[in-house]
Chains A and B, each alone.
Chain A
Amino acid sequence: MHRRGVGAGAIAKRKLAEAKYKERGTVLAEDQLAQMSKQLDMFKTNLEEFASKHKQEIRKNPEFRVQFQDMCATIGVDPLASGKGFWSEMLGVGDFYYELGVQIIEVCLALKHRNGGLITLEELHQQVLKGRGKFAQDVSQDDLLRAIKKLKVLGNGFGIIPVGGTYLIQSVPAELNMDHTVVLQLAEKKGFVTVSEIKSSLKWETERAKQVLEHLLKEGMAWLDEQAPEEPQYWLPALFTELYSQEITPEEAKEAIP
């Protein structure tokens, strides 16, 4: 009875087979790499042709950009991953979004003392458009969201919080968990929220509501109005720009915090 695969001879044979297999494996990968390299060159040419005809469309047309991004996502491609990518180099998509990223960072930094690092997508949009001037390309809210998603990787705490029908953009590394988020969503309707409202809407205990509100106060994202008629109101400066459009200095902002 032969027992297969045992004994020095069998081991040596197996090693030889493995070595041959290895070789083949390497060759296979090389083949495919060579193939990929060729296809890449062809693709680059196609992209160049596309760019020469439609580069403007990407720059000028926000809807086209959305389509483009969606298509890329569907096939598993991230055109914004690197400035060195073909998409960036040839279509100029990269520069558009990376520059937008810089503008978003600057706006958020400038307004942080007022809103604690929380800002509505609308206000961010307005401020960015203002900064870009009359002759800059049109920028949509979708563009802003995509740029912000890319900024997250810089570790500065960029986050997107859905509230009401829109979004709050967080630009500071403050920890905002589910509790905080849901209170923000509650506050979005009127720009402020009270402990009673939280208790009745969310069915929380007083302590839990207070903890969340105090955290928001500490982070400078909420301001306390103790002179409100029935009970103290916690206002979100991020949400009341329509009511209070004047500039508030850091000193004034500090005074507003108890």
Chain B
Amino acid sequence: MDRFSWTTGLLELGETLVVQQRGVRLSDGEEKVKFDSGVLLLSTHRLIWRDQKNHECCIAIPLSQIVFIEEQAAGIGKSAKIVVHLHPASSNKEPGPFQSSKYSYIKLSFKEHGQIEFYRRLSEEITQRRWENMPTGQAMQVNKDTQARRIRAVGIVGIERKLEEKRKETDKNISEAFEDLSKLMEKAKEMVELSKSIANKIKEKQGDITEDETIRFKSYLLSMGIANPVTRETYGSGTQYHMQLAKQLAGILQTPLEERGGIMSLTEVYCLVNRARGLELLSPEDLVNACKMLESLKLPIRLRIFDSGVMVIELQSHNEEEMVASALETVSEKGSLTADEFAKLVGMSVLLAKERLLLAEKMGHLCRDDSVEGLRFYPNLFLTQS
């Protein structure tokens, strides 16, 4: 009985039912086992037994396990039987009800008859060995390992070959790309040389180049990504493009600035604008160059650079010095505040909160207490309580 495996009882693809019989008892050799009353099914591939009371209890054995079969006639009080002699269980057999058995045969007792037909059909199947022509999961037990291994090997070699081809293709692409890149860089280098020559001419003839030409030249440099050494001092790095950008920014940032108390750090602006654009993003330099032109273009927003180097965009209507007055009130109310605490109270970023407090200190309204516990600001009592 140890050749049996638990099964769902469902037929596999390619497996066909040949005959079935109710009322069959299984025995392990000469010993009775608990498989007392069940339906015995013969398929092209297996012998399946299902318990009549408990349909969940279902076991099967591949027909390939069968060496030969014998008939055993009925006797008084004894049903007719078929004795099935079996090969030893294969090592990779699916788990079944018995781990081991001292018998190499089982007995099928036909309590409700039907053994003659069943024997005939079973003989036929064993002779014809139809399971060999129609491989399914179950029926390939003995040959399964070697065959599967063979199939797998072909598959892997095929995949490896494809990967190798892909690798070669990629390598070819890259070397071609590098070649093309080198050629491109040669041409770019020529452009750089030319621009240097023009820049030198401009330097020599200071002020002899028209504004129009300057604008053109700067836009050429911008397109190539060439740094702008000569005209930067006189005209700044901005170009027409940056002027347009500045006007755009004034439009885009109006509402966000109002929502954030009239002031935003340049990093905030960078993230906001680029997240909104999705494509054709601004470089950090583009943003700075555009912002530097805000004032001269008389736009409603402006760039401000704090002593610390922190750069912000403010609404023209925003007056940081006035905000300082309200900051002083807030700090006085609480006695003292750190930049973190102030930021949380007012709903600002810590960066800008710190700048405001520093400005207030610069203007003499606040005093600092600088310790390992952090930087804390107090109202400047030296000033007020003179």
Given A54-B181, A102-B271 in contact, is the A95-B220 Cβ separation under 8 Å? no
Query: Does A245 count as interface, using CB distance less than 8 angstroms?
Result: no
B194 touches A35 (CB 8 A): yes
Q: How far is the CA of A105 from the CA of B287 in the complex (A)?
A: 15
**Which A166-214 residues have a C-beta within 8 angstroms of B?**
172-173, 214
Query: Does B308 count as interface, using CB distance less than 8 angstroms?
Result: yes
Total A-B Cβ pairs within 8 A: 204
Query: Does A67 count as interface, using CB distance less than 8 angstroms?
Result: yes
Q: How far is the CA of A206 from the CA of B210 in the complex (A)?
A: 62
Query: Does B381 count as interface, using CB distance less than 8 angstroms?
Result: no
Query: Does A122 count as interface, using CB distance less than 8 angstroms?
Result: no
A39's partner among B178, B191, B216, B226 (CB-CB below 8 A) is: B191
Residues of B within 8 A of A26 (CB): 205, 208-210
Q: How far is the CA of A172 from the CA of B308 in the complex (A)?
A: 11
Query: Does B243 count as interface, using CB distance less than 8 angstroms?
Result: no
**Which A133-155 residues have a C-beta within 8 angstroms of B?**
150-155
A83 touches B213 (CB 8 A): no
A86 touches B181 (CB 8 A): no
Interface residue tally for chain B (C-beta within 8 Å): 69
A46 touches B187 (CB 8 A): yes
Q: How far is the CA of A46 from the CA of B189 in the complex (A)?
A: 13
Given A29-B201, A61-B174, A173-B309 in contact, is the A156-B225 Cβ separation under 8 Å? no
B177, B241, B310 — which one has the most chain A CB atoms within 10 A of its CB? B177
Q: How far is the CA of A203 from the CA of B280 in the complex (A)?
A: 52
B181 touches A173 (CB 8 A): no
B285, B371, B373 — which one has the most chain A CB atoms within 10 A of its CB? B285
Query: Does A4 count as interface, using CB distance less than 8 angstroms?
Result: no
Q: Which of A9-17, A69-77, A235-243 contacts B (4 or more CB under 8 A)?
A: A69-77
Given A50-B184, A154-B270, A154-B288 in contact, is the A87-B208 Cβ separation under 8 Å? no
B220 touches A37 (CB 8 A): yes
**Which A61-99 residues have a C-beta within 8 angstroms of B?**
61, 64, 67-68, 71-72, 74-89, 94-95, 98-99
Contact-size category for A: 35 or more
Residue-wise interface mask of B (251-294) relative to A, using a CB-CB cutoff of 8 A (1 in contact, 0 not): 00000000000000111001100110001111111111000000
A102's partner among B174, B188, B208, B275 (CB-CB below 8 A) is: B275
Query: Does A257 count as interface, using CB distance less than 8 angstroms?
Result: yes
Query: Does B217 count as interface, using CB distance less than 8 angstroms?
Result: yes
Query: Does B323 count as interface, using CB distance less than 8 angstroms?
Result: no
B222's partner among A28, A75, A84 (CB-CB below 8 A) is: A84
Residues of A within 8 A of B208 (CB): 22, 25-26, 29
Q: Kindly provide the distance from the CB of B287 to the nearest chain A CB, expressed in whole angstroms.
A: 7
Query: Does A30 count as interface, using CB distance less than 8 angstroms?
Result: yes
B265's partner among A29, A37, A83, A156 (CB-CB below 8 A) is: A156
Q: Which residue of B lies closest to A42 (CB)?
A: B187
Given A35-B194, A81-B285 in contact, is the A214-B241 Cβ separation under 8 Å? no
Query: Does B145 count as interface, using CB distance less than 8 angstroms?
Result: no
Q: Kindly provide the distance from the CB of A112 to the nearest chain B CB, expressed in whole angstroms.
A: 8
A75 touches B265 (CB 8 A): no
B241 touches A77 (CB 8 A): no
Residue-wise interface mask of B (212-232) relative to A, using a CB-CB cutoff of 8 A (1 in contact, 0 not): 010011001011111100000
B310's partner among A42, A150, A157 (CB-CB below 8 A) is: A157
Q: How far is the CA of A258 from the CA of B374 in the complex (A)?
A: 9
B311 touches A29 (CB 8 A): no
Q: Which residue of A lies closest to B270 (CB)?
A: A154
A155 touches B177 (CB 8 A): no
**Which B142-200 residues have a C-beta within 8 angstroms of A?**
173-174, 176-178, 180-182, 184-185, 187-192, 194-195, 197-198
Q: How far is the CA of A88 from the CA of B204 in the complex (A)?
A: 32
Residues of A within 8 A of B181 (CB): 50, 54, 67-68, 71
Q: Which residue of A lies closest to B288 (CB)?
A: A153
Q: Kindly provide the distance from the CB of B232 to the nearest chain A CB, expressed in whole angstroms.
A: 13
B281's partner among A29, A40, A61, A99 (CB-CB below 8 A) is: A99
B190 touches A85 (CB 8 A): no
Interface contacts beyond A78-B225, A82-B241: sample of 20 additional A-B pairs, CB < 8 Å, sorted by A: A36-B194, A43-B188, A54-B173, A54-B177, A64-B177, A72-B185, A77-B225, A81-B285, A82-B285, A83-B283, A86-B225, A98-B283, A98-B284, A99-B274, A154-B270, A154-B311, A156-B267, A173-B310, A218-B375, A220-B374
Cross-chain pairs A/B with CB under 8 angstroms, 23 sampled:
A32-B194, A32-B201, A40-B220, A43-B187, A43-B191, A54-B177, A64-B177, A77-B188, A83-B283, A84-B223, A85-B222, A87-B225, A95-B279, A98-B274, A102-B271, A102-B275, A154-B266, A154-B267, A154-B270, A156-B267, A217-B372, A218-B375, A257-B372
Residues of B within 8 A of A (CB): 173-174, 176-178, 180-182, 184-185, 187-192, 194-195, 197-198, 201-202, 204-205, 208-210, 213, 216-217, 220, 222-227, 241, 265-267, 270-271, 274-275, 279-288, 305, 308-311, 340, 350-351, 370-375
Nearest first, the 5 A-B pairs at minimum CB distance are A155-B311, A98-B281, A25-B205, A54-B177, A75-B189
